[in-house]
Structure 1
Amino acid sequence: MVDSDEPDADTGRADGAAERAAAANAPGDPDIDDLLAKLDALSDTVDEGHEREKVRQTISLVERMPGTGALAERITKYTSRDLAESFVGAVLFALPLLVEGGVFEIAAWFAATTVSGVPVLLIGHVGFIFLATAGLLYFADFRQIAIRHPIFGVIPRRYAGVLLVSLTTSATMLLFWGRLHEGDPTAVERAGRIAVVWAAAAFGAGLGDILPGESQGEDLGKFDLDIGDD
């Protein structure tokens, strides 16, 4: 009897230690956001599809609770519908620039302004697109964007999706409308034309993605390309 009781006592002590550790790591003043963060983390750890669906249903239930109306601005999933919304936004913002001759002038200025043969203004403009898109998605107060399943554990999927969709849309529309090669531009000028339209398209793609709110459908988490995730 003594031997059989000892494992139970050890188990009880272990459970108590785990509970104390969990309590120590818990937020000092927990709120609904903390609960949702825990549920998000739980959905990433469960293996079975039906278990993951149960967690999603619980998250949806919490978000519909009275007094949590502000959570309607919270976006956690990234779906194929978000990609489509980004495409629509990119097209709407890129269209006016496709008929503007000013795009050619700006591209020529980018190509002409170099340091040791490097088009520094063009590179700076591309950097501005990256920074502005990140600011729009994650620092502006349009929506609260949760970063889940980043690509390779680093790059947010929504950020990459908005940039890639808007870049592809810009280059394709310039090509199909005959504006990319008009006037026999240099390669740097063509890149500059794409970059100018890309700036507007990226802004439109970001707004088109986040303004409608959380999209319905299956999350694209399985395409996160995280090589460290089993």
Structure 2
Amino acid sequence: MSDADATTERESSDVSDLMDHLEELEEHVDSPEGREVVQDAMDTITDLQEPGTFGRVIRGFDRADAAEAGIGGALFAVPMVVEGGTYDVGAFVATHPLNLLATVAVTIGVVYGILYVAEIQDVRVKDPILGFVPRRLAGVIGISFGVTAALFTGWGQSQWASDPWLTLCVVSVAWAPTAIGAALGDILPGS
């Protein structure tokens, strides 16, 4: 390992440790003003990080993150739209609702794992929806499903008017890899 790599790794670890300490401090601060000061400090640390793809602390979910998720999702969705097997699998899960539910649950679990468990990046939850749903997870899932539905509809591969259930199942099957692409597209640039 070169000196530059060791320095980058040490700085990344230091930033991650500092963020851990600030998040712990935030839990113990009672006043809204105090929590806001801690949040501002975490935002400042995030803003001051050296540009790069790996080793950054990622917080929040903004317009740039949404665009990255959309691009990553589209890259994975296009092959699913043109592949005939997607329709066959969608037709199968249309007649096996438990398989459809399992597909959706596993997809959400895999996306959660990529974002928060696999430690590809140090992704932090900021301002969760309803106090427990991470904005990044909701954004990646929603955007990837929207991209998938839009591509299937735009390229004439959907039958929303005549058979909405079948179309929903086909889109849901194609959404599984699209969501993975969206998650990777979002966190790999490191923003």
TM-score by length of 1: 0.64
Correspondence for 1:162: 140
Q: Which runs of 5+ in 2 are unaligned?
A: 1-16
Correspondence for 1:175: 153
- 1:147 paired to 2:138: no
Correspondence for 1:226: none
Q: What amino acid is the match of 2:167?
A: R
Give every structure 1 segment of 4 or more consecutive aligned residues whose post-TM-superposition deviation is greater than 4 Å. 38-42, 51-54, 60-64
| Cα distance in 1 between the residues matched to 2:134 and 2:155 | 32
| Cα distance in 1 between the residues matched to 2:123 and 2:147 | 24
Trace 1:41-120 onto structure 2 (pairs within 5 A). 45-46=32-33, 55=41, 58-60=44-46, 63=49, 72-113=55-96, 119-120=97-98
- Change beyond 3 A, Cα 1:121–1:156: same
Q: Which has the higher contact order (CA 8 A, sep 6+)?
A: 2
**RMSD over aligned Cα, in angstroms?**
3.0
User: How far is 1:164 from its partner?
Assistant: 0.3
Q: Deviations over 1:33-86 (max 9, x none)?
A: 4444357778x9449x9x78963575258756xxxx9x9332113211000110
What fraction of aligned residue pairs are identical, expressed as a percent?
A: 32
| Cα distance in 1 between the residues matched to 2:156 and 2:25 | 50
Aligned length: 170
| Cα distance in 2 between the residues matched to 1:154 and 1:53 | 17
Q: Which runs of 5+ in 1 are unaligned?
A: 1-30, 114-118, 215-230
Q: Which has the higher helix share?
A: 2
Q: Deviations over 1:130-167 (max 9, x none)?
A: 11111111111211111110001110000000000001
Q: Deviations over 1:10-55 (max 9, x none)?
A: xxxxxxxxxxxxxxxxxxxxx534444357778x9449x9x78963
- Change beyond 3 A, Cα 1:34–1:98: closer
